[in-house]
Structure 1
């Protein structure tokens, strides 16, 4: 009597093929010099964020934002927006780059890294992504918890409005 294959075998093959195709498409996007695709490849090396139930959801959201290189809400809708850092009292239109490369509150993240360009200059995005990829998750998590990245008031207000109406 023949034994039928389990459903898990074809599902595993489909999942594997899907991941391979997704990776190939992403690598093609990186080759086309997409800033967000390049950031993701440099910051994550294509490894997912480990699931750790001890990390609060709002901290996980910030970690995902760093790994994906998401600009803030205002940057997405208006382009470069000057935002004042809550920790350093400097204004920068490159919020993630400033937080990872220049902010005094996160200087401990860069102690063992080579010098990097200023936020907004060529190579700064790659340097910021390198900071994300080189820092252990526990260190990055504690930094984000203790020194949250700055957000414009409009983003906070819009986020609350969307949460209430959504």
Structure 2
């Protein structure tokens, strides 16, 4: 890959599905995410473009040189009576970490959440994802003491919210 190849953040397309599934799974395995009660069991991993192809949802991928390095998206928080979106499946391969792409991705997702008129943005994560938590805090997320909605991610013990 050429050194000057630019990073691109763009909306997911159907042809991204298989490569993105592999990226997301490999990052979750790298961080020792439990198989039960986490995104590793989400059926939409196989068809991410379909999972975010509905109202008030969007998923972005990070690409460089034609290769996908990660992504993140928002979708309505499942089983919530409030007007809340969830920042979902934000995972990057190591080459895409620590260079500001996470911050750009969050900003893009939050901008879209505001456009969709959400009141809050919720995220669940793992204890050992300390750098991700630091990033979320720097972008205005705060810890909360219990989960919201019902995501099916019972093994994610860290919950955060951002008021939009």
TM-score by length of 1: 0.29
Structure 1 or 2, whichever has the larger Rg, is: 1
Structure number with the higher strand fraction is 2
TM-score by length of 2: 0.30
Structure number with the higher helix fraction is 1
